[in-house]
Structure 1
Amino acid sequence: MPLATDTAAPDFKPIAPDAAGAPLYRVVKRALLQAIEAGRYPAGGALPSEAELSAALGVSIGTLRHAVDELVAEHILVRRQGRGTYVAMHNTDRFLFQFFHVERSDGLREAPKVELVAFERVRAEPDVAAVLGIKAGDPAIQVDNRLLLQGRAVIHDRLTLPAPLFKGLTEKRFKDRPSTIYHLYQTEFGITVTRAQERARAVAADRNAARILGVPQGMPMMQVQRTALTFGDKPVEHRLSTINTTQHDYVHLLSRPA
């Protein structure tokens, strides 16, 4: 439910325009992000009204809307007609739209069925540790998943998570999650994946991928290395996806920044 308090928006203080050092709407955007990151407005929670926020921050409604528009475009916030502005939740629709780019060659797009293959506690390998911003040998959680599309194993995902960020995560808790993996991060550990960086290349299926996907070892595959980022571009997950593109494509919609 939207927050309703006697004070307009107590989590925010007026912004001095001459002290901003940046376009005013960007300073407003930063203030909103800081409040969300600090947990004052949790996933699924409503922000104060535009009138309350603009009054508390000392900016015009137009400036506030400009900041909110960018956060909506970045999937941090979501507007609900007639109800207000909410902190976006990770769900299947958002996963498909923002983070999952594999579809059948004829354009059929669907959420994959995810099968857990392995869950173990490991020491971070040097290359993965460098990506996650931790030390080689630091404790990590490694998860292997098999993703099925149209009943066929298409993707092998290997996830590596910094263990200190996911205290209490067990195989059962991971396997029994009610929604997507990123929803689990957000609701159980307060970690919101805001965006991801990806690198793709062609590889030959190694023994492990061949076993998990049921393909010949050495078969040409596509490999995507993803680093999932939270607020402040802090890395929270390394994911190595090996994809059988015999009947599926990797499709990504590119657009010019607004």
Structure 2
Amino acid sequence: MSNSGYSATSVGLTLYKEVKRQVLEALAAKEWEPGDVIPPEKQLCIRFGVSVGTLRKAIDELVAENILIRHQGRGTFVALHNRGSHLYRFFNVVRHDSKKFYPTLALKLFEKKKADKTCSEKLGIERNSVIFRFTNLRSLDEKPVLVDRISLPESLFAGLTEAQVRDRPSTLYNLYQSEYGLNIIRIEERVRASLADAELSKLLDVDVGAPLLQIHRVAFSYNDQPVEYRVSYVNTENYEYVPSAP
């Protein structure tokens, strides 16, 4: 008897992963836009040549990853960053008592410049490529708590203006999705200790040299495309960082 190393179960697992990959490719190609309902199960089973069980396993995983969202009786939709749990899905700062406040923002700086070595590596662009860089001050419970220094490649955000960033009606990730078709589906973060410099001292109303939490984040869209690089500084006197669930 031949032993290929694959069981029927492992083949089934491999197949659902392939279906998931093809759904992500369709999303990346904007076949289904944010907020669109995806085709019904029967149509997708025919398209991918799989059983309903295999298709559902792939869709279940995409729903668990907040890429798709189910609405009972209405179908499965491409998730939006402007509603429900998706609105601040990647906002990971809470008060020490675990109470979560949604931030208010003030844009402090907006400029166009050339990417340095770190930024180019994080965003996967050439050194000295043009980027947009801006600084946001986020307040929680009316107190300044967090500073974000954000870099975006001009190649993905052509025509981005200060007014778009300052006056957006929802989150930045909703702006990326609605205006540029870039859906943030995952982030990678690294956390380290830092000290407040003169600028951060002024923005966060802390002493120069006060301890801060420094968070380096790269945000990715479909096909592991890096979209945003940000460095955040958090005053942890009353707040703490709680990492996103995988």
TM-score greater than 0.5 by the shorter chain: yes
Aligned match for 2:36, one of 25, 39, 45: 45
Equivalence for 1:91: 82
Looking at structure 1, the residues matched to 86 and 70 of structure 2 have their Cα atoms a distance apart, in angstroms, of 18
Looking at structure 1, the residues matched to 235 and 25 of structure 2 have their Cα atoms a distance apart, in angstroms, of 40
Shift of 1:221: 0.5
Looking at structure 2, the residues matched to 95 and 207 of structure 1 have their Cα atoms a distance apart, in angstroms, of 35
SS in 1 for 2:81: coil
Looking at structure 2, the residues matched to 202 and 96 of structure 1 have their Cα atoms a distance apart, in angstroms, of 28
Superposition RMSD on alpha carbons, in Å?
A: 1.8
Equivalence for 1:56: 47
Percent same amino acid among aligned pairs? 43
1:216 partnered with 2:207:
yes
Counterparts of 1:1-258 in structure 2, within 5 Å, are 23-91=14-82, 93-95=84-86, 98-252=89-243, 254=245
Please tell me the residue identity of whatever aligns with 2:178: T
Looking at structure 2, the residues matched to 160 and 219 of structure 1 have their Cα atoms a distance apart, in angstroms, of 25
Please tell me the residue identity of whatever aligns with 1:41: W
CA contact (8 A) 2:17 2:58 kept: yes
CA contact (8 A) 2:219 2:228 kept: yes
Gaps of 5+ in 1: 1-19
Please tell me the residue identity of whatever aligns with 1:182: Y
CA contact (8 A) 2:82 2:171 kept: yes
Q: Per-residue displacement from partner, 1:73-99 (whole Å, max 9, x unpaired)?
A: 111100100000000011254456630
SS in 1 for 2:229: strand
Please tell me the residue identity of whatever aligns with 2:166: K
Q: Per-residue displacement from partner, 1:56-80 (whole Å, max 9, x unpaired)?
A: 2221111100000010111110010
* Residues 77/133 of structure 1: CA separation in 2 closer, same or farther (3 Å cut): same
Q: Per-residue displacement from partner, 1:182-241 (whole Å, max 9, x unpaired)?
A: 000001001111100000000111122112111111101100000001111111100100
CA contact (8 A) 2:25 2:223 kept: no
Please tell me the residue identity of whatever aligns with 2:131: A
Shift of 1:22: 7.2
SS in 1 for 2:155: helix
Gaps of 5+ in 2: 1-10
CA contact (8 A) 1:228 1:235 kept: yes
Greater relative CO, 1 or 2 (CA 8 Å, sep 6+): 2
Please tell me the residue identity of whatever aligns with 2:120: A
Q: TM-score, normalised by structure 2?
A: 0.92
Please tell me the residue identity of whatever aligns with 2:29: A
CA contact (8 A) 1:92 1:111 kept: no
CA contact (8 A) 2:66 2:86 kept: no
SS in 1 for 2:56: helix
CA contact (8 A) 2:104 2:139 kept: yes
